[in-house]
Structures are given as C-alpha cells and as structure tokens.
Amino acid sequence: MSANRSERLMKLLIMLLVQRTHVPKERIRAELYPDAGDDAFEKMFERDKEELRSLGVPLEVGQRDVLFEDEPGYLVRPGDFALPDVVLDPDEAAVLGVATQVWESARLADATLAGVRKLSAAGVPVPLEGQRHDGADLGISPPRLGAAEPAFDVLVEAVHVRCEVVFDYRGTKDDAPVERHLQPWGLVRHGGRWYVVGRDVDRQEERVFRLSRIVGEARMTGRRDAFVPPEGVDVGEVARRLAPPPPTGVPAVLLVRPGTGFALRRDAVEVTPGVPGPDGATWDRVRLEGSGPSVVEAVLEHGPDVVVEEPARLRDEVVRRLEALLDGLGVAPRRGTP
Amino acid sequence: MSGAGSREQVGRMLALVPYLNARGAVHVDQAARDLGVTPQQVVKDLRVLFLCGLPGGYPDDLIEVDIDALVEPDGDRLIRMSNADYLDRPLRLSPTEASALVVALRVLRTHAAPATRDVVDRALLKIETALGGQTATIDPGEGPAVRGRDAEIVDTLREAVAARRQLTIDYHVPSRDEVSTRVVDPARLVEHGGLLYLEAWCHTADAPRTFRVDRVHAARVLPTPVATEHDEVAPSDPEAGPEQLFVPPPGSTLVTLRLDAEVRWVPDYYPVEAVRPAGDGAVEVDLRVADARWLQRLLLRLAPHARVLAPAGPGDELAERARQALRHYR
C-alpha cells in the first residue's frame, strides 16, 4: 500500500540522516524490511533508494568498516541534504509563483512546483495555487513553454540521472527509423524545437537529435551515473555548432503587386511604392535582408503576385522550380504565352 | 495510489515539516494554500508523518502531530507538530527541479516588462547561487525569433495583456493574402513550435480566436478595458494546450500528398494526420485542408516537390498561377 511505502521511505531517510556513520545494509533490513525474503528485500531496497535519489536525496554508499569491505553501508549527510539559505524578497517570491505556470509538460510543471515548494518551506512565502494570479500585476504575461514531443520527459530525466537512452530516429536522410544509443548531456530549444545533445554511443561522436524526429518512445537503458558529460560543456553551443541555421544569402529585391505579399512586406527593410510592374501596372518594390531558402519559398507561394528582380540566382531558382512544377503537372511550361 | 504517488507524498512531506518548523502552529487551510495542495492531502500526509520517527520505534522517537485537532468536529484545525528537528531544513532541489525552475524563470524573463525583468534577475541570481551551478542542462534558447518591428508589436501586445485593455490589430490571413482590422480582448501570449500566438476574444468574430503574432501587422492599445474574462478565452482543457490550435475546422477535406525527399520536413512544421514512407526518401502524408487556396499556396511553396495524390482535383488553377508567374520573367 502506498501509505506504507511512503512511511518506509520516510523512515529510511530519517534513519540514514540521523546517523553519523554509514548504516549497514543488514541493519536497515532488520529495521525496515523485517518480513521480506532475500529477493524481495533486494528489489524493494533498490527501488526505495532510487525513489529517494530521484527526489534529490544525496544517498551515499560507503564502507562502515574498512576491514569488512563486502559490507556496504548507507548515509545521508545533513549538509548535502539541506537546501542552503535563500532569502527572497516578496516580489521575487511572486515571480517564482508565476514561474510554476510556465511549463506545459506536466512532469516539468510538477518539478517546478516541487522546487518552489521547497524554497517556500524554507521561509519564503510564494503565492501558489488558490491565490494564483496570472502575473498581470507584475507586468508579465506568463508564457507557456511547450514541449509536445513525447520523448521530452524521459530525456530530461535521463540527462539528470546520467543514464543512457535508446530510441528510433528518422533523420532527414533516413527512409526508415534507425535505432540510436545516446548519452544525453542536455536539451536545447532552438527555433521552438527541442534538440537533445550528447554522445552518440554507436558513432562515438557528439551529436544533436531533434526530438520531433524520434519515432515512438525513448527509453532509459542501463544504470544511472553511467557517464560524465565533458567538463563545462555548453549544450546550446554544441547544438548551434552541429545544426547551424540556414544561410541567409545576399539581399533580395522583389516586385510585389499592391494589396498582396503582406508577409514579405512585413519582413522588408524597405518598401518603395508606385514602381512600374512586370505587367505595365504600378507595383511596389520590396527589399529584403537575405535571399536564403525561406525567401525562395515565400516568393513561390505568392505565384504571379511577386517577381524577383535580384539576385539572379534567386530569379533562376524561382523560374526553375515553377517550370519543374508545370512539367510535373504534365503542362508544357512555355505554352500559353499571350 | 501508485508507487509514483509515494514518491510525490514523500516530496510533499519533506517540504511540509520545515514549513511547519519555520512557522509554528498553522491552520491547515493556510498550509494547503502555501504549499499548493488540498487540505485533505495535508491531513493524509500528516497521518503518515505521525508514524515516522527515529529508528528504534519507541513512542518518544516518533514525530508528534495533533491529528485530533484536524479531524475532530470541535478541533481548531491548527497543525501542531514536534519532535521532527532533524527535518527542519528543506531538501535541496533535485537536478530536474532545479533545471525546471531556472528554465521557467529564464523564459519568464524574456516575456517580462523591463521593471519585472530586474526582479526575475534578482530571483535567478539568488536561486542559481543556492543551487550551485547544476542547472545548465536545459537551454531554452531565445524563444521565438522576434525581429525588427515585431519587437514593438510584441511589446504592445504584452502591455495590453498586463493592463487588461482592449487592442485593435491589423491581422494578415495568408490563405487569402488579406489584412483585416479587428478589436480584440487579449488574454495571453503562448508559444508553440517556435511561434508566438495571441489568445484573445475577437469582437469582430464575437468568438475566441488565436492569432499568430508574426501575422499581426499593427497593434494599438485602446483606452477601453477588456470586456471578457480570461476563462472565456482559455482552452477548455488546459492539458490540450496549444495543440488545439490545430483542431481541423468542420468541413475540411483529407488530402494525401506525395512529398519528395527535398521537402520531407513538412510533417515537422505542418499538422499532418499520417506519414508513410514512399520509397527514394519520399513520403506520403495525409492532412486536413479547410481552404483550397491554402493548399494551392502550399503546393507553390514546395514546388515542384509536392503532388496531390487524392482527392483527384483540378490541377488547372495551380498550373495557371504558375504559368502567370513565369510570364513575368519573360
């Protein structure tokens, strides 16, 4: 039963917290698991230790007596256990209350609340549920941080317990998902997408994987504390280095039919109205900072309402793709000239 | 309750004891509010704590709680606890808790008005110091890219949300390539898939609407306060979150596209219902289309790498637009 289990976990924690030296496993067993058989005890004890560690309890394994090395003992040092003093001002505490509403992931929202609850217990009055506000009086509209990718929660856990993960991954060039093994160092959000950074065990290299391309579940495999990330690694830096943003290209000059192309106008560095258009009517000239891949697509999307003036490379690309489209539709591209 | 319930319960108890130690006798309702749980749960947790104590199991070694005061009809509902000094400091934050909190604060910071940003910075500094630099495992990045004039618009939207005032916005509908002006009651800004959205009550449509912020071309705060409550705008199921943005409207058509390898990233950016490999790196996807013009623009955008497989429809209009566009280059 759960209440019994909570009670046993608390008693185990208190027992290890109040002792000055490592408590032998046999003593723990006699005290807290008196009715369990050998196998059942090992299983329960392993799970209980895991639960306490996952709550953040620094459970230390050591030898009570150097002469009897096969006898492991356990200890929780009060100095490692307790939260250092944090004295927050009321406005800072209010901000923490708003922070509990940021995560959309239930797992991370719970973790934030649990963390705030600990800080709150230390004496800081943090406004939580029941007196929650939406941050309006602080000038904050609390953003919601989404992590819709199903693998997100498992990877967060794996990063923190330093456990290897396995998942099926479909890269941009893979036809079918491929099983990958990773020692995850951290998670990075870039352009609204989550990426996991770590050491690819199969390829023996640092790699970045996009969470939305993980097919099905990610699973933790093997023991915790199985690896140590490189000293001082900056996961954001690794992600930016391995997955650079697309090139922006040289500046682009477009002609845009009046009353259309609002998205392009919005991104423009300059709009000159009333210039001669390709059909003899009056159009607008729109200047963009770059002519990268996304501009090609934006131009194509507008069909006959947008024409590229410069650069020639962008012009050629648009023409080539429109001709290929007509080819694919079974229509000769050069037919139909008035 | 599952095993995970025990873990949560222990977590709560480890916060409850230091909370009570720091405050003395506290009313159970007050404790529940401060810790973000129900009063019933507080009593349940106390009943378990009541059974715990120093090893040995002598009555003097147990944590003492006056349960009667909490459950008897004439009880004063004050929590009195003693004999738990060894738990008087809260447990340090687990790595996941520390990361979750610090990331939430960093994200909050990017969305805060300048004066509040300063408060968030102070809180972050204190917390990161207390946590001792074990929080660099999740990098939330910069959030949605906000460029040039967009930054001003986002500031205006935030100002209106914070002040609970109405807004007038010029909003671009790309499937029609039109801009319309509307009066809205802004409720909140949400982020999804790298984009920022404004959830609002639209007085023009007289219905809740979600607007993509990068399609708001102009915004002005009105002197009038909002006329609707946040709840009227809120998604009915908070768990569903912004996924609801992609609920297909009634009357939409299921369209099957073949996507060449060059554009197989489409399912990462568009809400598709199914993806099937189609050989040579190509995929087939099913997606809901509410507006034929939207589909036509998508096909032009991806040209020549996307083709409609079903339903069989007129490719004529698409071909005509492509032909007209090509004419401009000759």
Give pLDDT, residue A106.
81
**Contact with chain A for residue B167, Cβ under 8 A:** no
Same domain, A217 and A238: yes
The pLDDT confidence band at residue A141, using thresholds 50, 70 and 90, is low
- Cβ-contact B6, A9 below 8 angstroms: yes
Mean pLDDT across the stretch B192-206?
83
B window 211-230, beta carbon within 8 A of A:
214-215, 217, 230
Within 10 A of A280 (CB to CB), how many other CB atoms are there?
A: 7
- Cβ-contact A177, A194 below 8 angstroms: no
Report the C-alpha gap between B54 and B61 in whole angstroms: 5
* Residue that is last in its domain, among A242, A263, A297: A242
Is B187 within a domain?
A: yes
More confident residue, B190 or A141: B190
Which of A191, A318, A337 is opposite residue B194, by nearest beta carbon? A191
- The CATH code of the domain that includes A222 is 2.30.30
Same domain, A157 and A227: yes
Is A70 within a domain?
A: yes
Evaluate if residue B2 carries a pLDDT over 50.
no
Report the C-alpha gap between B180 and B84 in whole angstroms: 65
The pLDDT confidence band at residue A118, using thresholds 50, 70 and 90, is confident
Give pLDDT, residue A70.
65
**Contact with chain A for residue B176, Cβ under 8 A:** no
CB atoms A136 and B147 under 8 Å: no
Which of B93, B97, B322 is opposite residue A325, by nearest beta carbon? B322
Q: What angle do CA A215, A221, A225 make, to 5 degrees?
A: 125
Q: How far is the CA of A176 from the CAs of A173, A180, A213, A268, in angstroms?
A: 9, 13, 11, 40
Report the C-alpha gap between A229 and B48 in whole angstroms: 39
- Residue B50: phi, psi to the nearest 5? -55, -25
**Contact with chain A for residue B133, Cβ under 8 A:** no
- pLDDT tens-digit readout, B254-265: 999 999 988 888
Mean pLDDT across the stretch B271-279?
85
**Contact with chain A for residue B209, Cβ under 8 A:** no
Count of CA atoms in the C-beta half-sphere (13 A) of B296: 20
Is B146 within a domain?
A: no
Give pLDDT, residue B185.
93
Per the structure, how many domains does chain A have? 4
Residue B272 gets the label, from left (phi > 0), alpha (psi -120 to 50) or beta, of beta
Is A337 within a domain?
A: no
Give pLDDT, residue A39.
94
Same domain, B99 and B80: no
Nearest C-alpha neighbor of B41 from the set B12, B67, B64, B66: B12
Is B123 within a domain?
A: yes
CA-based nearest distance A28→chain B, Å? 10
Report the C-alpha gap between A281 and A274 in whole angstroms: 9
Which of B8, B87, B190 is opposite residue A144, by nearest beta carbon? B190
Per the structure, how many domains does chain B have? 4
Same domain, A73 and A128: no
Per CB-CB distance under 8 Å, the chain A contacts of B146 are none
Query: Average model confidence (pLDDT) for chain A?
Result: 85
- The CATH code of the domain that includes A46 is 1.10.10
- Among chain A residues, the shortest Cα distance to B306 is held by A325
Looking at chain B, the whole-number percentage of residues with pLDDT higher than 70 is 85
Q: How many residues does chain B have?
A: 330
Within 10 A of B61 (CB to CB), how many other CB atoms are there?
A: 14
Say if residue A311 is preceded by a cis peptide, omega within 30 of 0: yes
Give pLDDT, residue B36.
82
Domain extent, residue A122, equals: 90-138
Report the C-alpha gap between B111 and A143 in whole angstroms: 7
CA-based nearest distance B12→chain A, Å? 8
- pLDDT tens-digit readout, A243-275: 776 677 788 999 999 989 888 888 888 899 999
Which of B13, B55, B96 is opposite residue A160, by nearest beta carbon? B96
Q: How far is the CA of B41 from the CAs of A120, A123, B87, B184, B254, in angstroms?
A: 18, 21, 20, 41, 48
The pLDDT confidence band at residue A177, using thresholds 50, 70 and 90, is confident
Give pLDDT, residue B242.
42
Give pLDDT, residue B236.
39
Structure tokens at A84: 């250092």
Mean pLDDT across the stretch A15-42?
90
The helix or strand, by DSSP H or E, that contains position A314, with its residue range, turns out to be helix A312-328
CB atoms B324 and A303 under 8 Å: yes
- Residues with Cβ within 8 Å of residue A190, at least 6 apart in sequence: A239, A240, A243, B141
Is B140 within a domain?
A: no
Nearest C-alpha neighbor of B234 from the set B288, B188, B193: B188
Exposed e or buried b per residue across B62-78, where buried means at least 16 C-beta atoms within 10 angstroms of its C-beta: bbebbbebbeeeeeebe
3-state secondary structure of A69: coil
- Residue B284: phi, psi to the nearest 5? -105, 135
- Full-model pTM: 0.71
Same domain, A168 and A210: yes
- The CATH code of the domain that includes B297 is 3.30.70
Give pLDDT, residue A227.
92
- Cβ-contact A152, A210 below 8 angstroms: no
Same domain, B109 and B44: no
* Residue that is last in its domain, among A218, A242, A266: A242
More confident residue, A108 or A176: A108
Give pLDDT, residue B220.
94
**Contact with chain A for residue B246, Cβ under 8 A:** no
- pLDDT tens-digit readout, B73-126: 998 999 999 888 888 888 888 888 888 999 899 888 877 766 788 889 999 988
Is A207 within a domain?
A: yes
Mean pLDDT across the stretch A23-42?
91
Report the C-alpha gap between A189 and B141 in whole angstroms: 5
Same domain, A215 and A185: yes
Which of B36, B318, B328 is opposite residue A128, by nearest beta carbon? B36
Task: Give me the interface pTM, i.e. the ipTM.
Answer: 0.74
More confident residue, B134 or A151: A151
Nearest C-alpha neighbor of B230 from the set B185, B182, B189: B185
Domain extent, residue B268, equals: 253-327
- Among chain B residues, the shortest Cα distance to A338 is held by B327
B44, amino acid identity: K
Per CB-CB distance under 8 Å, the chain A contacts of B149 are 266
Strand ranges for chain A from DSSP E: 23-24, 59-63, 72-76, 164-169, 178-190, 193-200, 205-210, 214-221, 252-256, 270-276, 282-288, 306-310
Least confidently predicted of A196-210, A235-249, B28-42? A235-249
Q: Which of A236-240, A242-246, A326-330, B10-14 has the highest mean pLDDT?
A: B10-14
Per CB-CB distance under 8 Å, the chain A contacts of B302 are 297, 300
Mean pLDDT across the stretch B290-315?
86
Mean pLDDT across the stretch A325-329?
88
Same domain, B180 and B218: yes
- DSSP category for residue B215: G
Evaluate if residue A32 carries a pLDDT over 80.
yes
Q: How many residues does chain A have?
A: 338
Same domain, B239 and B168: yes
Same domain, B239 and B316: no
Same domain, B209 and B167: yes
Give pLDDT, residue B246.
54
Give pLDDT, residue A194.
86
Give pLDDT, residue A48.
94
- Cβ-contact A120, B105 below 8 angstroms: no
Which of A2, A108, A110 is opposite residue B1, by nearest beta carbon? A2
Looking at chain A, the whole-number percentage of residues with pLDDT higher than 90 is 39
Report the C-alpha gap between A10 and B53 in whole angstroms: 8
Same domain, B22 and B58: yes
Give pLDDT, residue A137.
56
Nearest C-alpha neighbor of A189 from the set A231, A219, A222, A147: A147
The pLDDT confidence band at residue B300, using thresholds 50, 70 and 90, is very high
CB atoms A56 and B243 under 8 Å: no
Is B145 within a domain?
A: no
Q: How far is the CA of A25 from the CAs of A17, A34, B58, B270, in angstroms?
A: 15, 12, 21, 55
CA-based nearest distance B31→chain A, Å? 10
Same domain, B259 and B304: yes
Same domain, B55 and B106: no
Report the C-alpha gap between A290 and A288 in whole angstroms: 6
- Among chain A residues, the shortest Cα distance to B22 is held by A123
Instruction: List B53's β-bridge partners, or say none.
Output: B62
The residue of A118, A237, A317 whose CB has the most chain B CBs within 10 angstroms, and thus the best one to mutate to test that interface, is A118
- Cβ-contact B197, B188 below 8 angstroms: no
Q: How many CB pairs under 8 A join A and B?
A: 409
Same domain, A262 and A233: no
Give pLDDT, residue A183.
96
Evaluate if residue B249 carries a pLDDT over 70.
no
More confident residue, A318 or A337: A318
Q: How far is the CA of B108 from the CAs of A140, A298, A334, B194, in angstroms?
A: 8, 32, 55, 16
Evaluate if residue A184 carries a pLDDT over 90.
yes
Q: Scanning the structure block, which residue is given the tokens 């990958």?
A: A180
What sign does the CA torsion over B298, B302, B303, B308 have?
negative
Report the C-alpha gap between A8 and A49 in whole angstroms: 11
Is B144 within a domain?
A: no
Nearest C-alpha neighbor of B190 from the set B107, B248, B273: B107
A165, amino acid identity: V
Structure tokens at B204: 């023009």
Is B138 within a domain?
A: no
CB atoms B16 and A113 under 8 Å: no
Which of A84, A307, A315 is opposite residue B130, by nearest beta carbon? A84
The pLDDT confidence band at residue A139, using thresholds 50, 70 and 90, is low
* Residue that is last in its domain, among B201, B218, B244: B244
The pLDDT confidence band at residue B239, using thresholds 50, 70 and 90, is very low
Evaluate if residue B237 carries a pLDDT over 50.
no
The pLDDT confidence band at residue A1, using thresholds 50, 70 and 90, is very low
B window 179-198, beta carbon within 8 A of A:
179, 188-195
The residue of B101, B124, B291 whose CB has the most chain A CBs within 10 angstroms, and thus the best one to mutate to test that interface, is B101
Is B16 within a domain?
A: yes
The pLDDT confidence band at residue A290, using thresholds 50, 70 and 90, is confident
Query: Average model confidence (pLDDT) for chain B?
Result: 83
Report the C-alpha gap between B166 and A23 in whole angstroms: 64
Residue A313: is it exposed, middle or buried by C-beta count within 10 angstroms (0-12/13-18/19+)? middle
Exposed e or buried b per residue across A245-277, where buried means at least 16 C-beta atoms within 10 angstroms of its C-beta: eeeebeebbbbbbeebbbbbbbbbeeeeeeeeb
Mean pLDDT across the stretch B189-197?
74
More confident residue, B271 or A187: A187
Give pLDDT, residue B127.
86
Exposed e or buried b per residue across A184-216, where buried means at least 16 C-beta atoms within 10 angstroms of its C-beta: bbbbbbbebbbbbbbbebeeeebbbbbbbbbbe
